[in-house]
Amino acid sequence: MSRDSTAPIVKQFDILWNSRHELAKQVQAEGKKIFGCIYSHVPEELIHAAGIIPIQIVESNEDTDYAKGSQEIDIYHCDFVRSCLGQGLNGTYQYLDGVVFAHSCETMRILGSLWELLVQTPFFFWYTPLIKKTEAARQFYREQLRELKSRLEEFCGHGISDEALRVSIEIYNENKSLINRLYRLKQVGLPLDAHDYCVIVRAGLVISKEHHNRLLRKLLEVDFSPYEEPSTKPRIMLSYFNFEHCMSDKLSIGKILEEELGARIVADDLASGRRYFSRPIDIQGDPMEALVEGYLGSVPISFKQTLEDEITRISSEAVQSKAKGVIILFPKYCTDFMYQLPSIESKLRRLGMRTLVIETTEQMPIGQLRTRLGAFVEALTK
């Protein structure tokens, strides 16, 4: 079974990603509001239930945006934040009706602070995710959600019913379920490579979940026969934050590893991918309580996850997928993750896995990267 069967559908996802801003403006022209969010801590379901389309603000890979952002942020911060701010200042996200930023790391606080002052999107909410699941934390999180709900209702001029929230949670849960199903089928032969998988997943960040679900269902109707991959291909897990550094017009790490170097990516925990989509919300009972339980202490991003949980997550994924090596890609200057990295690497080595750590930037030299990836894959085949 070749990729010809899936390629046309994958292309649709790619087109959506590349025309994300035009699409958003089209949706607005139809009367919907659009909010920008960053990373997985923001309870998008609540925003969706208000009748607003939440989209993720993502890196643009455009030099002009990095340059603009760098005028306001020192170089000792990740490219992601500089690009996002640059786009805000350049007017790329001028159409946003609001933003909800979560305190997912120190650099996010810088982005949030500067966005509030310089971009001045009409609605701004600073969201505090928590790690602990104590009663005090639950109560805080509950009240914070209520505050966000109240602000959204005031902004939109109408209430958010429990029923609307339940429906939104179900839509988001379906999205997570479809992506997870896709991920599992990919492991057993659905003709998608790592690059295609990322193309599909990332589109879901910038369009409505309903739209993404329709396309995913279509993709999963493709007929294929499960097959066993030849065992000679070195099995690699990718642990990475920003796919924008790993797949752009200039570079696709997935393609390099699978098409050029003959490896097989058997697992990934992309921050905007599996980590973002992997946690369905259990909506028995009160939907606001469901959000509390679903988000509190559950979002696997470095700053808001304990070291122990981070080590367990990455290592158990690597073991389950029978990876021989783990490639860890994280944005340069991501200090929260850098504190955890030595412990994570140590654990993976104790489990008998090789590791390759790459600090990614938008400007990283691709030739050198190819060489490092090539050497790593070669080492795995010995």
Partner 1 sequence: MDRQTSDSQMTNVVELRRKHVRQFYEQASTAHKQGIPLVWICAGSHDEVIHSVGAFPTFRPASQAAVAARRGTSLHYCDVAHEHGYSSDLCSYVRNIIGMVFDGKDPYGPIPRPDLIIIDSAICDAVCKGWEPIAAYYGVPTFRVESQIRFIDNPQKYIMEWKVAELMDEVRFLETNIGGKFEFDRLKALMALEARTCELIGKIQEYRKHIPCPVDPNEMSSSVFYQANLPATEMAFEYFTAFLKAVEQNTRQGKGAATEERYRLLYDGIPIWYDLDLYEYLKERGAVIVWETYSNLEWMGYYFDGIRINPSKPLESLAMKYFYGHNYVSLRVNLERFRRAVAEWKCDGVIQLHNKSCKVYDLGSVMKARMFRELGVPTLVIDADHCDPSGYDPGFTRNMIDSFLEILEGKKGNK
Say whether residue 260 binds partner 1 (CB under 8 A). no
Applying the rule CB under 8 A, the residues between 213 and 252 that interact with partner 1 are: none
Say whether residue 340 binds partner 1 (CB under 8 A). yes
Exposure letters 85-111 (e unless 16+ CB within 10 A, then b): bbbbbbebbebbbbbbbbbbbebbebb
Contact (Cβ atoms closer than 8 angstroms) between residue 259 and residue 120: no
Say whether residue 369 binds partner 1 (CB under 8 A). no
Q: What does the alpha-carbon distance between residue 71 and residue 116 come to, in Å, rounded to a whole number?
A: 16
CB atoms near residue 128 (< 10 Å): 12
Sign of CA dihedral 281, 284, 287, 291: negative
Binding segment toward partner 1, per CB under 8 A, in 238-246, 249-257, 273-281, 335-343: 335-343
**Least distance in Å: CB of 216 to partner 1?**
35
| Residue of the chain from 107, 173, 242, 315 that contacts partner 1 (CB under 8 A) | 107
* 93 or 115: CB nearest partner 1: 115
| Residue of the chain from 74, 221, 223, 228 that contacts partner 1 (CB under 8 A) | 74
Say whether residue 103 binds partner 1 (CB under 8 A). yes
Say whether residue 109 binds partner 1 (CB under 8 A). yes
Residue 318 has, within 13 A of its CA and on its CB side, a CA count of 26
* 43 or 112: CB nearest partner 1: 112
Q: What does the alpha-carbon distance between residue 336 and residue 152 come to, in Å, rounded to a whole number?
A: 31
Q: Which of 178, 123, 191, 177 is nearest to 152 (CA)?
A: 123
Bridge partners of 265?
Answer: 236
* 200 or 301: CB nearest partner 1: 301
Give the binding site for partner 1 (CB under 8 A): 71-74, 76-77, 103, 105-107, 109-110, 112-114, 116-118, 126, 128, 130-132, 134-137, 139-140, 143-144, 147, 302-303, 306-308, 332-333, 335-336, 338-343, 345-346
